[in-house]
Structure 1
Amino acid sequence: MQELKTDILVIGAGSGGLSVAAGASQMGTDVVLLEGHKMGGDCLNFGCVPSKALIASGKAAYAQAHTSAYGVADVAPQVDYAAAKDHVHDVIAQIEPMDSQERFEGFGVKVIREYGSFISPTQVQAGDHLITARRVVVATGSSPLVPPLPGLDQVTYFTNETIFDLRDKPEHLLIIGGGPIGMEMAQAHIRLGCKVTVIEGLKALGKDDPEAATLVLDSLKAEGVAIHENAMVAQIRDNAGAIEVVTENGEIYAGSHLLLAVGRKANVDRLNLEAAGIERTRTGIKVDDKLRTTNRKVYAIGDVAGGLQFTHVAGYHAGVIIRSALFGLPSKAKTAHIPWATYTDPELAQVGLSEAQARAQHGDAVEIARFDYHHNDRAISERKTKGFIKVMVVKGRPVGATIVGHQAGELINLWSLALANNLKMGQIAAMVSPYPTIGELNKRVAGAYFTPRLFENQTVKKVVRFVQRWIP
């Protein structure tokens, strides 16, 4: 057994773990990084990167068949599903060097390609290494949840960890789960020439603003995706080579391939948390607002911390940890300014409180500012007029924003900035956007907030009349 001592031990080389390791090592801290699977974690290898690459393939195919409105003849796309997957893996390969073992060793990080397991509050065993650390950061992420459905073990099924290695185009893809992953994969596959059926036990995109979610779901249905809601799965079965999904109400959906997209579970099973005095929760590891576990020398960040499960959250958590563990500065993780996006077409993005949450929390103090895409000249010119932006405002400050439409994931950035810095709507309205841009929607919705105050306010009108009459 080889014994090592280090300042910071990072368990997991996904987005959060890599950010901590890179930042800490470049600031002169002794860092050991453990990774038992792939460098880059879920996002690079099985999640954000490959899914967006496949979505891009589907978008290209869809565009070929929908160009007549621009004066260009529609053509039937010739989809090569295996080549689309080559594109996916080429994208991964281009990004891989940024997350590679060699790059992090260049920063001075000692990288050990083994899983880690606690054997005491300050010691972790990884293969034949015994590591004692002053601080430990658990960044093991999450994995696809595979529910114990009767008959599931009798069929071949895919998750986000395996679907990107499939090279034979599914004739009919059944997707269990109508959340963001399920809907993104549904649209990508329908555009690549597959038949797609989504089976959701409750409400598809149920965590999003209902009006915005409906706009997305209607768009997917118009493209041919069959979406069945309130359809709890009771059984999976093989019927002469076809996969059948049987719901509790007796409905049967048959297809050639099955994708499970029903949620995520925190990767904690290998960690032996009890040996370190670290408590779990139903969703992961118990942490305080400083991301410390019940063992004060151990932090947990990203998906394994049991909160919002997004790559950018793990990166944000890494910054919180670096300020606290390296500099000893007070640093707390907040969630109010954390945005997220679903990369369907149209996109759906959210930051802060939804309209329903804002009304529940602030009552009549909430004002809703809204602006529709069909009033934006750039959206009109590109025929991307489906969608809207609405901002929830309390006492002149935004507390949340919902955007559905073209480039919603880009537009939401400004509102994350506003919430992070407690900006006022007047500061948003004061910015100047180049014309014509989709980004102008953000300025226009701020203007919509002030419109009734300026144009419907009788006091304002009296002041203007006075100035025009009496001020030379």
Structure 2
Amino acid sequence: MSEVLQPDLCVIGAGSAGLSVAAIAASFGVPVVLIERARMGGECLNTGCVPSKALIAAGERRHAAEAAAAFGALPPLLLPSADFSHVRDHIRSVIAAIALNDSQERYTAMGVMVLRDSARFTDAQTVEAGSRTIRARRFVIATGSQPAVPRIPGLEAVPYLTNETIFDVAERPARLVVIGGGPVGVEIAQAFHRLGTPVIIVEAEPRLLPRDDPELAGVVERTLMREGISLRLGMAIERAEMRNGNVALILSRDGREESLEGSHLLVATGRRSVVDDLGLEAAGILHDRTGITVDRGLRTTNRRVYAIGDVAGGLAAAFRFTHAASHQAGLVIRNALFRLPVRVDDAPMPRVTYTDPELASVGLSEEDVRAKRRSFRILRWTFAENDRAQAERETAGLVKAIVTPRGRILGCGIAGARAGELITPWTLAIAKGLKVQDLAALVVPYPTFSEVTKRAAVEFIRPAAQSAWARRAINLVRRLG
């Protein structure tokens, strides 16, 4: 006979979203069962955010050595290719250091019952995991996502990498072909190129990062080209095949075909929610190609069950970031434990692509605002006009803010050095309803990159300073002595 557990919360999936729910609930003394069939920490720790940033950091260090001559710090260097076995060890050591925070032992010490097994709903209020039956008051599905592999003829017959396998590469690829010019594709492409591997990116859209503001994405695209990464944009992939021991892609555009080869192929064409083998039908939980159907409070079509993180579909599918998963965990706790109303789209959600230069944004883009037919102003300030950027030779990029005629901030995008950090004051301003005039009044230290925020904000008040009314006021005060 199976053991029956009756906790307040049963969380399925120990990635960023599930771990956050379990930790918060346990801190309130709530009985929690956490079920995970694979590695604790999920995609972010093991095959996503953490290893990719460790890889990017390795590439940045080598690139910095190459650029040192421009500062007079070192003579011009011809660096050998990176030692990929050491790069792999570096990535693994970073994962191991952070894994302690996500470990089964740590969560058990918090009071969470951790079950290392597969979970499956047997009815609307019951889950089975191995020899245990869980009848919880509320369930949270946080099973995350996995690489989405496109239907390309011949792809199944050639070896290819995804973000789940790329970080285990221990020898330098002679040539890496990347399918997909989105954030994952361009981040990994630039890192490998900086580590000495020739890289080609193939993207069906006519530009890289097609979901981002084209003006800002163009900054990244020009940098990648300047560094020597080859781009094949606006091209369809007709088929994949093996040729002389290499993987070959046959591309087409406007009726003309082109063939390219690489020693390694990376497929980086997005992700799909993990919903298989969960018994969702037995629980009355609907899902579609975007993930599990949820309302604005992250409830599924079964009122006892929530879905958060990458597995949540519909409106929530737009927020597939680790920080969004942690935020959603807090929303579920508020609603499930305290019955407080929550909305998944209430908080502005920043996003960052960790190329060099970085690309970050929050709120509405210029395209979004134009589609809504709203009155707006665009405020820009370039990194080339920032003294710290000049000192560090990080002058590519700009801040681009979208505001109403009265100064309410609708959105902001930044392409440039430290953009992921610089987007935070704009996120706070939108969340708290601050106006761009408030950012213009900030005192920021000199010389810092933070000045690009202030200078962009000051652009809002520049027309007023140059108005005839302002000049008359100054003249009046002058006459008064």
In structure 2, the residue matched to 1:122 is: 125
Counterparts of 2:77 and 2:144 in 1: how far apart (Å)? 43
Counterparts of 1:464 and 1:324 in 2: how far apart (Å)? 56
Please give the residue correspondences for 1:18-167 in structure 2 after superposition, counting only pairs within 5 Å: 18-72=19-73, 73-78=75-80, 79-167=82-170
Please give the residue correspondences for 1:61-460 in structure 2 after superposition, counting only pairs within 5 Å: 61-72=62-73, 73-78=75-80, 79-202=82-205, 203-249=207-253, 250-306=257-313, 307=317, 308-334=319-345, 337-363=348-374, 365-394=375-404, 395-454=406-465, 456-460=466-470
Counterparts of 2:252 and 2:304 in 1: how far apart (Å)? 47
* Amino acid aligned to 1:140: T
User: CA shift at 1:299, angstroms?
Assistant: 0.6
* Amino acid aligned to 2:215: E
Q: Could you give the per-residue CA deviations for residues 277-330 of structure 1, whole angstroms, max 9, x where no partner exists?
A: 111122001111111111111111111112121111101101111111111111
Counterparts of 2:424 and 2:308 in 1: how far apart (Å)? 22
Counterparts of 1:147 and 1:388 in 2: how far apart (Å)? 34
User: CA shift at 1:44, angstroms?
Assistant: 0.5
User: CA shift at 1:74, angstroms?
Assistant: 2.7
User: CA shift at 1:20, angstroms?
Assistant: 0.5
Q: Tell me, what secondary structure is at the counterpart of 1:137?
A: strand
Structure 1 range deviating more: 44-53 or 230-239: 230-239
Please give the residue correspondences for 1:6-25 in structure 2 after superposition, counting only pairs within 5 Å: 6-25=7-26
Counterparts of 1:122 and 1:234 in 2: how far apart (Å)? 47
Counterparts of 1:181 and 1:151 in 2: how far apart (Å)? 23
CA contact (8 A) 1:199 1:227 kept: yes
Q: Could you give the per-residue CA deviations for residues 175-230 of structure 1, whole angstroms, max 9, x where no partner exists?
A: 11110100011100111111111111113210011111111111101111111011
Distance 1:439 1:417, change over 3 A: same
Q: Tell me, what secondary structure is at the counterpart of 1:9?
A: strand
Counterparts of 2:384 and 2:340 in 1: how far apart (Å)? 47
Q: Tell me, what secondary structure is at the counterpart of 1:65?
A: helix
User: CA shift at 1:452, angstroms?
Assistant: 1.1
CA contact (8 A) 1:386 1:405 kept: yes
Q: Tell me, what secondary structure is at the counterpart of 2:439?
A: helix
Q: Tell me, what secondary structure is at the counterpart of 1:296?
A: coil
User: CA shift at 1:118, angstroms?
Assistant: 0.8
Q: Could you give the per-residue CA deviations for residues 372-395 of structure 1, whole angstroms, max 9, x where no partner exists?
A: 111111111111111100100013
Q: Could you give the per-residue CA deviations for residues 322-368 of structure 1, whole angstroms, max 9, x where no partner exists?
A: 111111111211166101011111111111111111222243x1011
* Amino acid aligned to 2:301: T
CA contact (8 A) 2:32 2:112 kept: yes
Q: Tell me, what secondary structure is at the counterpart of 1:75?
A: coil
Counterparts of 2:431 and 2:323 in 1: how far apart (Å)? 14
Counterparts of 1:27 and 1:76 in 2: how far apart (Å)? 57
User: CA shift at 1:398, angstroms?
Assistant: 0.6
* Amino acid aligned to 2:422: L
Q: Tell me, what secondary structure is at the counterpart of 1:237?
A: strand
Q: Tell me, what secondary structure is at the counterpart of 1:54?
A: helix
* Amino acid aligned to 1:57: A
Counterparts of 1:20 and 1:60 in 2: how far apart (Å)? 36
4+ residue runs over 4 A deviation: none
Counterparts of 2:232 and 2:55 in 1: how far apart (Å)? 24
Aligned length: 469
Counterparts of 1:469 and 1:123 in 2: how far apart (Å)? 83
Q: Tell me, what secondary structure is at the counterpart of 1:326?
A: helix
Counterparts of 2:172 and 2:366 in 1: how far apart (Å)? 40
CA contact (8 A) 2:84 2:169 kept: no
Counterparts of 2:145 and 2:136 in 1: how far apart (Å)? 24
Counterparts of 1:3 and 1:34 in 2: how far apart (Å)? 14
CA RMSD of aligned residues (A): 1.2
CA contact (8 A) 2:172 2:197 kept: yes
CA contact (8 A) 1:234 1:246 kept: yes
User: CA shift at 1:233, angstroms?
Assistant: 1.3
Q: Could you give the per-residue CA deviations for residues 419-455 of structure 1, whole angstroms, max 9, x where no partner exists?
A: 111111121122211111001111111111111122x
What TM-score do the two structures reach when normalised by structure 1? 0.97
In structure 2, the residue matched to 1:3 is: 4
Q: Tell me, what secondary structure is at the counterpart of 2:336?
A: helix
Q: Which runs of 5+ in 2 are unaligned?
A: none
Counterparts of 2:118 and 2:77 in 1: how far apart (Å)? 50
User: CA shift at 1:467, angstroms?
Assistant: 2.2
Identical columns (%): 48
Q: Tell me, what secondary structure is at the counterpart of 2:241?
A: strand
Q: Tell me, what secondary structure is at the counterpart of 2:29?
A: coil
CA contact (8 A) 1:51 1:185 kept: yes
Distance 1:180 1:303, change over 3 A: same
Counterparts of 2:230 and 2:149 in 1: how far apart (Å)? 22
CA contact (8 A) 2:118 2:130 kept: yes
Counterparts of 1:20 and 1:77 in 2: how far apart (Å)? 46
